[in-house]
């Protein structure tokens, strides 16, 4: 009898353990950039928080630096459910709907206060369009400001003439063409070799990516235009999210709120340290001329107008809400 009780107890323990293993969810999370970049570091912390907040029921394995999927392939993979969760530049979706173009219109929001106001103004419409694509929004992390790294000094808009610059979405392609430069599509992993082969001579990149990739070795000039502050977005396949129980959803939402809050705070703190590291590495630092800034402002006005006119209700509403938030912020301060 005792032997039978022990056997039954062991059987029940094995069943319980087996059930726990089956119920635990293991997700691969592809991210495009290396471990030293702030969005990737936030992703690792997010994965730890999800595991803790779900009591180990959801385990996320972050695959950084494009090791799981190339950057441009991540949005489609999450939409199709090939991966449950992924991170990518929000602006990569700019062909899906014009709302996503707001993230990379030059000078629309090129400081952190304005970038946050723009995100708050655009967030609801962005989430709505993400849902239509089968994506569930979790959080965003801003980059340090994007500037132009190049093989030569850029003082005026004429210096962009014919310059081959990496283009990675339609909005950036439009900007490159507006500058008189030549857009070139090169995969992220091939950027350095493209510079070495002369296929690229310029690149829009954040200060963090420039510092991390030791960009001074192949594009030694930093033309510190600070054109925009784009966002990395983390999304889930919407169907996968909707199938989760309410407790798990709440835990993931809690981790997402923490990730986004920390992302805005910590990335802003990295601007000066990244800039110092670039200079220590040997970058040739160049402040933009007033004439170049004026030309960029004219491009901003044209691109903003074109963006609003694509969808007056949606994009126009975002733009007016953003400008009103700016006005109120200036009045408050």
Number of other residues whose CB lies within 10 A of the CB of residue 150: 25
Please tell me the predicted confidence (pLDDT) of residue 12: 45
For the cut 60, the answer to whether the pLDDT of residue 212 exceeds it is: yes
Q: How confident is the model at residue 24 (pLDDT cuts 50, 70, 90)?
A: confident
182-201 pLDDT per residue, tens: 999 999 999 999 999 999 99
Please tell me the predicted confidence (pLDDT) of residue 331: 86
Q: Give helix 112-132 / helix 246-281 axis angle, nearest 10°.
A: 140
Q: Is residue 150 part of a domain?
A: yes
Number of other residues whose CB lies within 10 A of the CB of residue 260: 21
CA nearest to 103, candidates 78, 121, 85, 87: 121
Neighbour-count burial of 173, counting CB atoms closer than 10 A to its CB (0-12 exposed, 13-18 middle, 19+ buried): middle
Contact indicator for 153, 221 with CB cutoff of 8 Å: yes
243-264 pLDDT per residue, tens: 999 999 999 999 999 999 999 9
Please tell me the predicted confidence (pLDDT) of residue 23: 60
User: What is the C-alpha to C-alpha distance for residues 135 and 155, in angstroms, rounded to an integer?
Assistant: 42
162-175 pLDDT per residue, tens: 999 999 999 999 99
Q: Which two tokens stand for residue 204?
A: 């829009």
CA nearest to 91, candidates 186, 170, 37: 170
What CATH number is associated with residue 179?
3.40.190.170
Non-local CB neighbours of 55 within 8 Å, separated by 6+ positions: none
Q: Is residue 127 part of a domain?
A: yes
Name beta bridge partners: 149: 203, 222
Q: Is residue 6 part of a domain?
A: no
- Overall domain count for the chain: 1
Please tell me the predicted confidence (pLDDT) of residue 9: 46
- % of the chain with per-residue pLDDT over 70: 93
**Backbone angles phi and psi of 26, in degrees to 5:** -115, 120
Q: Is residue 260 part of a domain?
A: yes
Distances 89 to 143, 168, 284 between C-alpha atoms, Å: 10, 10, 27
Widest CA span in the chain = 92
Q: Is residue 158 part of a domain?
A: yes
Range of the domain at 239: 22-332
Distances 181 to 58, 107, 184, 230 between C-alpha atoms, Å: 46, 18, 10, 21
**Backbone angles phi and psi of 183, in degrees to 5:** -70, 135
2-15 pLDDT per residue, tens: 445 445 544 444 44
Lowest mean pLDDT among 14-28, 117-131, 296-310: 14-28
Q: Is residue 17 part of a domain?
A: no
- % of the chain with per-residue pLDDT over 90: 91
Please tell me the predicted confidence (pLDDT) of residue 20: 36
Query: DSSP characters for 231-249?
Result: EEEEEEEHHHHHTS-HHHH
32-65 pLDDT per residue, tens: 999 999 999 999 999 999 999 999 999 999 999 9
Q: What is the mean pLDDT of the chain?
A: 93
Q: Is residue 1 part of a domain?
A: no
User: What is the C-alpha to C-alpha distance for residues 219 and 229, in angstroms, rounded to an integer?
Assistant: 21
264-291 pLDDT per residue, tens: 999 999 999 999 999 999 999 999 999 9
Helix count and strand count (H, E) for the chain: 11, 11
Q: Is residue 16 part of a domain?
A: no
């Amino acid at each position: 009898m005792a032997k039978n009780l022990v056997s039954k107890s062991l059987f029940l323990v094995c069943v319980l353990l087996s059930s726990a293993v089956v119920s635990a969810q293991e997700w691969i999370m592809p991210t495009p950039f290396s471990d030293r970049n702030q969005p990737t570091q936030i992703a690792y912390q997010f994965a730890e928080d999800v595991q803790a907040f779900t009591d180990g029921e959801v385990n996320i394995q972050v695959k950084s630096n494009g090791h799981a999927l190339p950057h441009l392939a991540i949005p489609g993979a999450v939409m199709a459910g090939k991966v449950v969760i992924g991170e990518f530049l929000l602006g990569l979706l700019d062909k899906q709907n014009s709302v996503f173009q707001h993230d990379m219109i030059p000078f629309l929001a090129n400081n952190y206060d304005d970038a946050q106001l723009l995100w708050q103004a655009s967030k609801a419409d962005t989430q709505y369009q993400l849902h239509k694509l089968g994506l569930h929004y979790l959080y965003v992390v801003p980059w340090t400001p994007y500037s132009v790294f190049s093989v030569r000094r850029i003082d005026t808009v004429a210096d962009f003439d014919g310059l081959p610059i990496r283009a990675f979405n339609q909005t950036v392609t439009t900007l490159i063409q507006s500058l008189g430069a030549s857009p070139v599509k090169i995969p992220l992993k091939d950027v350095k070799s493209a510079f070495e082969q002369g296929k690229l001579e310029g690149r829009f990149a954040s200060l963090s990516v420039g510092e991390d990739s030791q960009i001074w070795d192949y594009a030694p000039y930093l033309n510190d235009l600070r054109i925009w502050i784009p966002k990395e977005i983390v999304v889930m396949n919407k169907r996968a999210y909707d199938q989760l129980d309410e407790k798990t959803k709440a835990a993931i939402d809690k981790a997402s709120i923490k990730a986004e809050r920390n992302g805005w705070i910590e990335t802003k703190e990295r601007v000066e340290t990244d800039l110092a590291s670039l200079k220590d590495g040997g970058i040739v630092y160049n402040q933009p001329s007033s004439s170049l800034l004026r030309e960029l402002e004219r491009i901003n006005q044209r691109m903003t107008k074109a963006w609003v006119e694509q969808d007056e209700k949606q994009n126009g509403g975002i733009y007016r809400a953003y400008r009103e938030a700016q006005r109120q912020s200036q009045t408050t301060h």
